[in-house]
Structure 1
Amino acid sequence: MIAVENLTKTYGPQRAVDDVSFTCAPGTVTGFLGPNGAGKSTTLRMICGLTPPTSGRATVSGVPYRRLGNPGRHIGVLLDASAQHAGRTGREVLALAAITLGLDTARVPGLLARVGLDDRAAKRRVRAYSLGMRQRLGLAYAMIGDPAVLVLDEPANGLDPEGIHWMRGLLRGFADRGGTVLLSSHLLREVEVVADRLVVIGNGRILTQGDKEELLGAAGTMVRTTDPTALEDLLQRMGLTGTRSADGSVLVPSDPQTIGQAAAAAGVVLLELRPAGAGGLEEMFLRLTAGAEPEGANR
């Protein structure tokens, strides 16, 4: 289990991560989402002991990463697929990892096969690998210690459609066997398919989190009208507050039938009336992060 409690990281006057809290339970895949510069990578680095928090803490199975004995046996980490020695072969990379963790190197061939790297690829130098091959090797590296927890940052980057489908099955199978997966990715469709829970971050703060089905199903109603002022007046009379999106539609925290009947009775012409969840994760993500800072604002 991963527990993040009130994590904050400041760089001078800038808060890259601001009072972030969430948990990732065994048997689940948690999608960790946010625009560039939202604070995702900094949060992951704090979980993995690479960046000390200014305040708060993160634990894996109740223990901070830096206090884990032989951490690779507890948590597998893939934050940068290119962070491998370019002059070593794929087999050498995994064999050295196994030796470092005190494991038998005999597991290396089977692990290479599991991530789709054949004997020919295993003998090639990492410098000759494509990005997709490095991702596969990075996943093998993360899993070599049979950890109960995986923390992955953009693991599908560089994979072709077949590779993305393969990774989806790999992560789903890992969680279904009781593992814990924290997955950061810009591929929203893939996260929507594989994730059980969602955590969305923007400007260093949590924007929303919870069960995927509940978040997508309880998003409210998207309404668009020819007369925005009349709609706003109607919502005020109903005691509701709408949130306007960039395309002029309004998210209303109510069901479509209630809004449609009220609009008809008030003579407000609607051009669009649908459940907000119909647009899936992409629409929810874009709505929540509409005011996010530009790329590079946070680390």
Structure 2
Amino acid sequence: MICVEQLTKRYGEHVAVDGVSFRCEPGTVTGFLGPNGAGKSTTMRMICGLTPPTSGGATIQGVPYRQLANPGRHVGVLLDASAQHAGRSGRETLALCARVLDVDRARVGELLALVGLSGPAARRRVGGYSFGMRQRLGVAQALLGDPAVLILDEPTSGLDPEGVFQMRTLLRDFADRGGTVLLSSHQLREIEAVADRIVMIAKGRVVADGTKGELLTAPAGTLVAAVDPAALHAALTAAGLSHHPTDPAGTFLVDASADAVGRAAANAGVVLRELRPAEHEGLEEMFLSRLGSTPQEVSS
């Protein structure tokens, strides 16, 4: 479990993180989201004891990170995949880490295979790795101590689609076995696919915290569009059906069943080009609505 309570970090007059609180429970993946500069990395560094907070605190399994005995056996961390010794091979990197953590060296080969770095890739120097390969090695290093908690900052950055799918499966399996995952990423569709909970921050403050079911709600009603939007509006008004436009193209969200909307259009002779129940709001749409961001910021 990860418990963050009123974490605050100030740099002079600048407040990078402002009273952030949330919990990550065992058996769940928590997606940690926010635009660039929102305070995500600073928060994760404070959780891991790398940046001292101005106030507030965080615990992992009930203990601050710096007080954990042999912390790699309790929490696996990947905050910067580039911070690896370029002169060592992938296998040497994990073997050295295994000695530090006092774990069986057999874990080295197992994890290299798990993240797709076995064979010749394991013998290559890290300096010759692509960024995606460094990410894979960093995840293997985080898993080496068989921890109960994972804290990962952008672990799928630089991975190809197959690698992203493998990472999603790995994290989902870890959580399903009772592990706790805190996962920061700009790849919103991947977060939506794997996360159980969402914590979103902006300008250093939490702006959303809940399960996907709580945050990605479905608007009640029916989405409908016609060849002649003005005629459709008139037909819905005449039928007494409450509605409002959802886009400039003339799609309406109607507070009624699809049958009622279809009958109103048919009675008025309006030709429809779309008629369907309203769908759940996706994570990207929720991100935009909560933060007032642009699509470019979402993918940056």
Note whether the superposition's TM-score is higher than 0.5.
Answer: yes
Q: Which runs of 5+ in 1 are unaligned?
A: 227-241, 265-271
Question: SS of the residue aligned with 2:5?
Answer: strand
CA shift for structure 1 position 214: 1.6
Larger Rg: 2
CA shift for structure 1 position 123: 0.4
Distance in 2 separating the partners of 1:199 and 1:170: 21
Match of 1:85 in 2: 85
Distance in 2 separating the partners of 1:125 and 1:72: 23
Question: SS of the residue aligned with 1:69?
Answer: coil
Distance in 1 separating the partners of 2:130 and 2:88: 15
Distance in 1 separating the partners of 2:78 and 2:282: 27
The amino acid that maps onto 1:289 is: L
Change (3 A) 1:83 1:156: same
Change (3 A) 1:222 1:34: farther
| 2:292 is equivalent to residue 284 of structure 1 | no
| 2:94 is equivalent to residue 132 of structure 1 | no
Cα RMSD, aligned residues only: 3.0
Q: Which runs of 5+ in 2 are unaligned?
A: 224-228, 230-243, 265-273
Distance in 1 separating the partners of 2:275 and 2:6: 38
Match of 2:270 in 1: none
Contact 2:222–2:254, Cα closer than 8 Å, also in 1 = no
Using CA pairs below 8 Å that are at least 6 residues apart, which structure has the higher relative contact order?
Answer: 1
Once the two structures are overlaid, the 10-residue window that deviates more, 128-137 or 283-292, is 283-292
The amino acid that maps onto 2:99 is: I
Identity of aligned residues (%): 67
> 1:179-222 CA distances to partner (integer Å, 9 max, x unpaired)?
00000000000000000000010010000110111210167799
Once the two structures are overlaid, the 10-residue window that deviates more, 210-219 or 160-169, is 210-219
| 2:95 is equivalent to residue 95 of structure 1 | yes
Contact 2:27–2:179, Cα closer than 8 Å, also in 1 = yes
Distance in 2 separating the partners of 1:12 and 1:273: 55
Match of 1:108 in 2: 108
Question: SS of the residue aligned with 1:278?
Answer: coil
Distance in 2 separating the partners of 1:32 and 1:105: 32
Contact 1:277–1:284, Cα closer than 8 Å, also in 2 = no
Question: SS of the residue aligned with 2:216?
Answer: helix
Distance in 2 separating the partners of 1:7 and 1:256: 42
Distance in 2 separating the partners of 1:221 and 1:204: 35
Change (3 A) 1:126 1:181: same
Query: Which runs of at least 4 in structure 1 moved beyond 4 Å after TM superposition?
Result: 218-223, 272-277
Match of 2:43 in 1: 43
Contact 2:72–2:145, Cα closer than 8 Å, also in 1 = yes
| 2:184 is equivalent to residue 184 of structure 1 | yes
> 1:65-86 CA distances to partner (integer Å, 9 max, x unpaired)?
0000000000000011111000
Distance in 2 separating the partners of 1:19 and 1:144: 33
Contact 1:221–1:273, Cα closer than 8 Å, also in 2 = no
**How many residues matched?**
265
Match of 2:155 in 1: 155
> 1:250-272 CA distances to partner (integer Å, 9 max, x unpaired)?
xxxx99449x99xx9xxxxxxx9
Match of 1:12 in 2: 12
The amino acid that maps onto 2:287 is: F
Distance in 2 separating the partners of 1:288 and 1:144: 37
Change (3 A) 1:193 1:147: same
Match of 1:209 in 2: 209
| 2:179 is equivalent to residue 165 of structure 1 | no
Question: SS of the residue aligned with 2:35?
Answer: coil
CA shift for structure 1 position 140: 0.4
> 1:257-292 CA distances to partner (integer Å, 9 max, x unpaired)?
49x99xx9xxxxxxx999886340000001111169
Question: SS of the residue aligned with 1:169?
Answer: helix
Change (3 A) 1:218 1:81: same
Distance in 1 separating the partners of 2:186 and 2:157: 9
Change (3 A) 1:140 1:12: same
